[in-house]
Amino acid sequence: SRAETFYGTLDEPAREALRGYVARSAFDPQRSYAERLRRQKDLVGVLQSIAQDRSDHQRALGLLRGYRDRFNASPDLAYQRYAQALVAEGCEGFARLHNAMTPAHRLRAAQSLKGYEQDFLLLAAR
């Protein structure tokens, strides 16, 4: 449904490309969920620590920056490799899907992107 929001109704070659991408995906919901829980626990700890001493702004900033860094790059090196593999897989899968699209699909995608651009410009002007 997300692809159809962007491209419009998919024809069978595009659906097959999408099915193939999903079937080959290394995405592991349990592993991703465990990392999400780790991040949440980390954030709660950071916020509790900040709440204990609200007067030290530099310390709070340091704690938040550390959290940001751990959010962007998990301390679990195996998870970092997994996340990088998912990004590469996503790029390849999206390229295959895009290559399976008709010219009409690609026009719809360009129009969708133009709409996003207009939304961002409007928000940036506020």
Find how far residue 85's CA is from the centre of its chain: 13
Question: How far apart, in whole angstroms, are the C-alpha atoms of residue 65 and residue 62?
Answer: 5
pLDDT per residue, tens digit, the chain (126 aa), is 889 998 999 999 889 989 999 999 999 999 999 999 999 999 999 999 999 999 999 999 999 999 999 999 999 999 999 999 999 999 999 898 899 899 999 999 999 999 999 999 999 998
Tokens 């007067």 belong to 55
40, 74 in Cβ contact below 8 A? no
Helix (H, G, I), strand (E, B), or coil: what is residue 56?
Answer: coil
Question: How far apart, in whole angstroms, are the C-alpha atoms of residue 86 and residue 49?
Answer: 33
Confidence (pTM): 0.75
